Structure 1
Amino acid sequence: MTEAGAESLAEMLDERQHLLEIALWMFSSEITADRIVQETYRRWYALDDEERASIAVPRAWLTRAAGSIALELLAAPFPSDPAHRPEPITDLTQHQVRFSQAMLARHDRVARRFAAACETGDTAALRAVLAADAIVVSDGGGKLRAAVHPTYGADAVARFVTALLTGQPGTEVAAGSVNGRTGLVLRRGGQAVAVVSVSVAGAEVTAVWIVLNPDKLQRWHRP
């Protein structure tokens, strides 16, 4: 993920899932885990170009950062409001909570709201489903590795998504399975032109990951 040779978004999605697994191993709260991952990437992009270039193995750096953030949360005094307390994982049964049908159903509902807003090109509806600190990352569509520049904030993300994904003649926008959870697949003439994965916390989309590289889209093509 150095600026000179950033990973493709497909690889970044795999990397993000790895970080999420670390956070979920320590906390049973999906919301807490997602915040840990978001903070990990915030710290990465807060580094300057020289600092990022000096990191030989970005994935290892991110893994350490995520673990450090999780430990900081565990060591912090609990807030007075129990609803905001992170819940440490105590056994395998709790660790499997993240795979529950209830959580998948919630993600599906939010992702489909997002998909509906994309299908109609409704920027206001997109803004309504996005978290205030939402982020969007796109691979830019190139076949070569290229720098991944995120866009932050619900307003900016809504404008970016509207401009990139909506209003394209002959393009079908459909909800579909992306990395095991509901996402979006955009097709033109049966050929996938974009695949979108979303991260969800509560009733909001916290992150949007857009794959445009045609080499990564072949398995979503339809005959």
Structure 2
Amino acid sequence: MDGSTGVRAVDGERRQLLNVAYRLLGSATEAEDAVQDAYARWYGLPSRRRQEIESPGAWLTTVTGRICLDLLRSARARRERYVGVWLPEPLPDRTEWEHAAGGVHAAGPADPVGPARPADPADQIVLDESVGMAFLVVLESMTPAERVAFVLHDVFRYPFAEIADVLGRSSGACKQLAASARRRAGAARAPEPTAERAEVVRHVKQAWESKDIAALVGLLDPGAVMTADGGGVVGALLHPAEGGARIAQYMVAIADRAPGLELLERSVNGAPGLVARRDGVVMTVAAFDVTDGHVTRIWAIRNPEKLRPWATTS
């Protein structure tokens, strides 16, 4: 394998690494940083050492996993200082926006430690059930070690022997961690079919636009919960709002305070959601959980730092 072929092969692992890191961290921005750090460490190795590594992909996965593990551990302290509730960073479906706009995005800049990469790492993340907002929120309830063991094994099917290298524990201990995480994740119900969820979200949009409190109450489960993330940067609920009636009133109050707000039906992490924008700027991205035709959870991300992947969609 010549040098250029080797570089291409190693850089070909980037997409997989980004997908792993996003599911571990819940942030495309942090995932990109973690992967960049892993690549920097790879290219920082002496040439002879790199040639001795039989599987660069496995090496990069192990290093990325360890970086994410350290970030998850430090994140617990950082999130205690976070203003309001911390929610995962939402991902757009770029092709959906491009189809609506009839345009195509340009290629990105050169990678500082390797070949060229896409302009936005969020575009490289596969939008499946393992990045659904409900699933990511469940992952947040796990310990860092549980999350790493569960995501690597149950989502990506890595063997426990490789996970042991990431966590610095025995394969048996990693199995126990994954089993503990699986029990936590067991409470997460399989999502309803996309078409049914899309219909409910569409009705929510219509009722919200018309400020119809009664219609919203009818669409929301009586025990529904709405969680907002403004990060202390923009106004948002500091604590979750509970109850369909209260949430409906809050949604209408938002519409009253924001004339000119435009609601769009868009996929959020691969599931039907709503995007609110004003003067072409995305202000809020809302993800929904639907059960038996009623909205049970709403996650509204308003922190501008978490909406950067959406800036080029508007």
Both structures adopt the same fold (TM-score exceeding 0.5): yes
2:88 aligned with 1:10: yes
Identical counterparts, % of pairs: 30
Runs of 4+ in structure 1 deviating by more than 6 angstroms, as ranges, are: 12-15
**How many pairs align?**
163
Structure 1 pair 70–216 and aligned structure 2 pair: CA distance change class (3 A): closer
Whether the 8 Å contact between 1:184 and 1:195 is mirrored in structure 2 is yes
Q: Deviations over 1:123-169 (max 9, x none)?
A: 1111110001000000135349x995111111111112222345522
Matched, 1:133 2:218: no
In 2, distance between residues paired with 1:69 and 1:178?
A: 21
| Higher strand proportion (structure 1 or 2) | 1
For the residue of structure 2 that corresponds to 1:107, the secondary structure is helix
Contiguous gaps of at least 5 residues in structure 1? 23-40, 45-54, 72-85, 87-97
Trace 1:184-199 onto structure 2 (pairs within 5 A): 184-199=274-289
Partner of 1:183: 273
Q: CA 1:220–1:131 in 2, change beyond 3 Å: closer, same or farther?
A: same
Q: CA deviation at 1:18?
A: 3.8
Say which is worse superposed, 135-144 or 205-214, in terms of deviation: 135-144
* Larger RCO, structures 1/2 (Cα 8 Å, 6+ apart): 1
Counterpart residue type for residue 67 of structure 1: R
In the TM superposition, residue 3 of structure 1 has moved relative to its aligned partner by 4.9
Q: CA deviation at 1:8?
A: 2.7
Specify the code of the residue in structure 2 equivalent to 1:169: P
Tell me which residue corresponds to 1:90: none
Q: 1:108 to 1:166 in 2, by over 3 A?
A: farther
TM-score (norm 1): 0.58
What are the within-5 Å matches in structure 2 for residues 48-87 of structure 1?
64=180, 67=183, 70=186
Larger radius of gyration: 2
Segments of structure 2 that go 5 or more residues without pairing to the other structure are 1-75, 91-130, 148-178
Q: What code does the residue aligned with 1:216 have?
A: K
- Counterpart of 1:67 in 2: which secondary structure? helix
TM-score (norm. length: structure 2): 0.43
Q: Which residue of 1 aligns with 2:63?
A: none
Partner secondary structure for residue 193 of structure 2: helix
The 1:18–1:218 alpha-carbon spacing in structure 2 relative to 1, beyond 3 Å, is closer
Q: Which residue of 2 aligns with 1:109?
A: 199
CA distance in structure 2 between the aligned counterparts of 1:147 and 1:205, rounded to whole angstroms: 18
TM-superposed CA distance for 1:9, in Å, is 1.9
